[in-house]
Homo-oligomer: A and B are copies of this chain.
Amino acid sequence: MATVSRVVNNNPNVKPQTRKKVFEAIERLGYRPNAVARGLASKKTTTVGVVIPDISNSIFAEIARGIEDIANMYHYNIILCNADKRKEKEIRVINTLLEKQVDGLLFMGGTVTEEHIQAFQTSAVPIVLCATRDEKGTYPSVDIDHETAAFDAVNTLIRHGHREIAMISGTLQDPANGYARFQGYKKALEAAGIEYQEDLVRIGNYRYESGVEAMKYFLGLKKKPTAIFAATDEMAIGAIHSIQDEGLKVPDDFSIISVDNIRMASMVRPLLTTVAQPMYDLGAVAMRLLTKLMKKETVENPRVILPHETILRLSVNHVNK
**Residues of A in contact with B (beta carbons under 8 Å apart):** 30, 32-37, 39-40, 45, 47, 54-56, 58, 61-62, 64-65, 68-69, 72, 77-82, 95-101, 122, 208, 234, 237-238, 241, 244-245, 263-264, 267-269, 280
The 6 closest A-B pairs by CB, nearest first: A56-B65, A80-B80, A61-B61, A35-B100, A36-B39, A35-B99
A sample of 8 inter-chain contacts (CB < 8 A) reads A35-B101, A36-B100, A36-B101, A55-B68, A56-B65, A56-B280, A80-B80, A244-B269
A80 surroundings in chain B (CB, below 8 A): 64, 68, 78-80
Per DSSP, chain A at the interface is helix
Known: A55-B65, A267-B208. A79 touches B47 (CB 8 A): yes
Q: How far is the CA of A82 from the CA of B80 in the complex (A)?
A: 12
Contact A56 B47 (CB under 8 A): no
Q: How far is the CA of A64 from the CA of B58 in the complex (A)?
A: 12
Q: How far is the CA of A319 from the CA of B198 in the complex (A)?
A: 49
Q: How far is the CA of A244 from the CA of B267 in the complex (A)?
A: 12
Q: How far is the CA of A39 from the CA of B69 in the complex (A)?
A: 27
A269 surroundings in chain B (CB, below 8 A): 241, 244-245
In the complex formed, the residue of B with least CB distance to A78 is B80
Q: How far is the CA of A101 from the CA of B96 in the complex (A)?
A: 17
Q: How far is the CA of A40 from the CA of B35 in the complex (A)?
A: 9
In the complex formed, the residue of B with least CB distance to A44 is B36
A40 surroundings in chain B (CB, below 8 A): 34, 36-37, 40
Contact A68 B82 (CB under 8 A): yes
Contact B64 A56 (CB under 8 A): yes
Known: A77-B79, A82-B68. A33 touches B99 (CB 8 A): yes
In the complex formed, the residue of B with least CB distance to A283 is B56
A99 in complex: contacting residue of B34, B65, B244, CB < 8 Å: B34
Contact B55 A58 (CB under 8 A): no
Distance (whole angstroms) from the CB of A189 to the closest CB of chain B: 29
A37 surroundings in chain B (CB, below 8 A): 40
Q: How far is the CA of A9 from the CA of B167 in the complex (A)?
A: 52
Most buried by B among A61, A245, A269: A61
Q: How far is the CA of A264 from the CA of B238 in the complex (A)?
A: 11
Distance (whole angstroms) from the CB of A210 to the closest CB of chain B: 12
Q: How far is the CA of A82 from the CA of B97 in the complex (A)?
A: 20
A82 surroundings in chain B (CB, below 8 A): 65, 68-69, 72
Contact A99 B32 (CB under 8 A): yes
Q: How far is the CA of A61 from the CA of B68 in the complex (A)?
A: 14
A78 surroundings in chain B (CB, below 8 A): 79-81
A56 surroundings in chain B (CB, below 8 A): 58, 61-62, 64-65, 280
Q: How far is the CA of A122 from the CA of B47 in the complex (A)?
A: 23
Q: How far is the CA of A122 from the CA of B27 in the complex (A)?
A: 12
